[in-house]
Amino acid sequence: MGVIATVATVVLAISFMVFVTFFGRLPALRGTPISWLHKVIWVHFPNVLKSIDRRVTGGRISPACVRFGNYMMYDRHPSVLIFFLLLLSIGEILYLPTAWPQLTPLVKLTGTISIILPYLFLYLAAFTDPGYITPANHPQEMSRYPYDFTLFHPGNECHTCHLLKPARSKHCSVCKRCIAKNDHHCIFINNCVGANNQHWFILLLLSTAVLTAYGGILGVYLMAKRMNFFFPYWALLPWNANKGEGMPLKDWLVIWSWGFQNQVGMGAVTLLAGLTSPLVWGLLGYHAWLVYCGTTTNESMKWSDWSYEMREGFAYKRKMHGQRQKDLKVEPAWTRWPAETEQILVRTESGQCPAEDDQTLPGYGPWEAVWGLKDVENLYDIGFWDNLVDVLMPGYNFRDEPSGKRQRGGLRQRKKRRARRIYLA
């Protein structure tokens, strides 16, 4: 059992490190042990190593390690993408020769589909233009979303691309481009996740989650079937062994060890799939939650910052005219989005309410103190199904253009949409 335990420990450790790396900075996990571990692993521990390096070598090793780390995490290269492809392909090479002859035609068909889809969606997510903003498509990108005067304000220019920033866009320091509806840069696809490939990325997560769960469950079934053939008194659960009388845990684990070693290729991949599947399902669940909330990873970070300002008493809001006169120098006259902002949210350095007659700030009426995200609306959350349409059909027109020419989304304008309250904590 020693080899199996070692492999399981290594896989669990890697999975846990990946989980902490990707989830430790999420707003929902701030102040939790996961966030604390992220700081220990990626902030405090490197600082300790730098201190030791300064004392031992005069700081000659740290700069090289920092450059390598920055290259791996913050530069565009296919290393992690290649690793992901190798992990998929080598796992299948080890798994299939043992499993394939034991499968029924239906399982072979569904298994083939589940194997092919991750490669397809990986290719589409990695090589689809995520939404690069260029001078040629800038007017079109400006009309994708209206400014919400909370997270995104008109008139801000990207200092690198020298273009006005459309609402929900962000400049990616890795891709060196502004990305429409920038969610995040993903090293697993060596590309940004943006407006044009977000649906492929989510489908990649879904197909990979299904593949790992399918492979893990099927592998356990096939190994259990073989172990039952050689050890009739054994059962998948130790208390069900010996016809319900149970068996010592040590003996039960010894038979499991025999099962893994008897079919070592399939057994190792089954173990890997079973241990990594929860991580993939967790990533999928997180992105499904973002779709439900009508936000992105980048925007969730912004909302988290606003939440802190609100708790400290530095955030204020007031109403905006739905049919206000827009400044066409910095705002689009029309967007495909079915809602317009009805509020402006500002932060103050002193915590005191802005003057009601301040002409430098848009909006009208008195300012109200905001103490939590439940008191503000997210312009980009128009209900789960419409949020999903926006992800799956980039560029879908939710309302007609001013010319009166009916667009494919024109019929959806019948029901007036209103931005929903923030659900992020």
DSSP label at 132?
A: B
Q: Could you tell me if 104 and 225 lie in one domain?
A: yes
Q: Could you tell me if 369 and 289 lie in one domain?
A: no
DSSP label at 165?
A: P
φ/ψ (deg, to 5) at 383: 105, 145
C-alpha span between 358 and 155 (Å, rounded): 19
| Residue 269 within a domain | yes
C-alpha span between 83 and 93 (Å, rounded): 15
Q: 370 lies in which domain range?
A: 297-415
The last residue of one of the domains, among 265, 293, 321, is 293
CA angle 71, 81, 273 (to 5 degrees): 125
Cβ contacts of 157 within 8 Å, gap of 6 or more: 163, 164, 165
Per the structure, how many domains does the chain have? 3
Nearest to 223 by CA among 251, 259, 249: 259
Instruction: Write down the catalytic residue from 186, 192, 293, 353.
Output: 186
Helix or strand run (H / E) with residue 316:
strand 315-319
352-376 exposure pattern, b = at least 16 Cβ within 10 A, e = fewer: eeeeeeeeeebbeeebeebeebebb
Question: In which band, very low, low, confident or very high, does the pLDDT at 415 lie, cut at 50, 70 and 90?
Answer: very low
Q: Could you tell me if 252 and 344 lie in one domain?
A: no
Q: Could you tell me if 350 and 405 lie in one domain?
A: yes
Computed over every residue of the chain, the mean pLDDT equals 87
Cβ contacts of 153 within 8 Å, gap of 6 or more: 147
C-alpha span between 245 and 237 (Å, rounded): 11
CB 66 within 8 A of CB 74: no
- Residue 114 is predicted with a pLDDT of 97
CA angle 71, 76, 79 (to 5 degrees): 75
Extract the tokens encoding 259: 């099962």
Q: Could you tell me if 219 and 357 lie in one domain?
A: no
Question: Average of pLDDT values for 311-326?
Answer: 88
Nearest to 187 by CA among 62, 43, 18, 390: 18
Nearest to 190 by CA among 175, 206, 212: 175
The last residue of one of the domains, among 54, 74, 94, is 74
Which pLDDT tens digit goes with each residue over 256-283?
A: 888 888 888 898 899 889 888 998 999 9
Q: Could you tell me if 320 and 383 lie in one domain?
A: yes
Question: Average of pLDDT values for 22-48?
Answer: 78
Nearest to 153 by CA among 166, 171, 163, 141: 166
- pTM of this structure: 0.86
| Residue 385 within a domain | yes
Q: Could you tell me if 302 and 222 lie in one domain?
A: no
Residue carrying the six token digits 């204020």: 316
C-alpha span between 207 and 15 (Å, rounded): 18
Is 172 an annotated catalytic residue?
A: no
Rounded alpha-carbon distances, angstroms, from residue 305 to 89, 159, 425: 41, 23, 11
Helices (H) and strands (E) in the chain, counts: 12, 9
Q: Could you tell me if 343 and 409 lie in one domain?
A: yes
Q: Could you tell me if 283 and 302 lie in one domain?
A: no
pLDDT at 410 over 50: no
pLDDT at 78 over 50: yes
Q: How many residues does the chain have?
A: 425
Extract the tokens encoding 311: 């708790």
Which pLDDT tens digit goes with each residue over 178-215?
A: 999 999 999 899 999 999 999 999 999 999 999 999 99
| Span of 44-53, 88-97, 109-118 with lowest mean pLDDT | 44-53
CB 71 within 8 A of CB 77: yes
| Residue 142 within a domain | no
| Residue 150 within a domain | no
pLDDT at 296 over 90: yes
Full DSSP string of 208-259:
HHHHHHHHHHHHHHHHHHHHHHH-TT--SSGGGTTTTT---HHHHHHHHHHH
Q: Could you tell me if 410 and 315 lie in one domain?
A: yes
Q: Which residue has the higher pLDDT, 176 or 425?
A: 176
| Span of 29-33, 46-50, 346-350 with lowest mean pLDDT | 29-33
C-alpha span between 11 and 201 (Å, rounded): 24
State what percent of residues in the chain have pLDDT above 90.
Answer: 53
Q: Could you tell me if 89 and 224 lie in one domain?
A: yes
Q: Could you tell me if 306 and 363 lie in one domain?
A: yes
Residue carrying the six token digits 């206000």: 324
C-alpha span between 138 and 119 (Å, rounded): 32
pLDDT at 21 over 70: yes
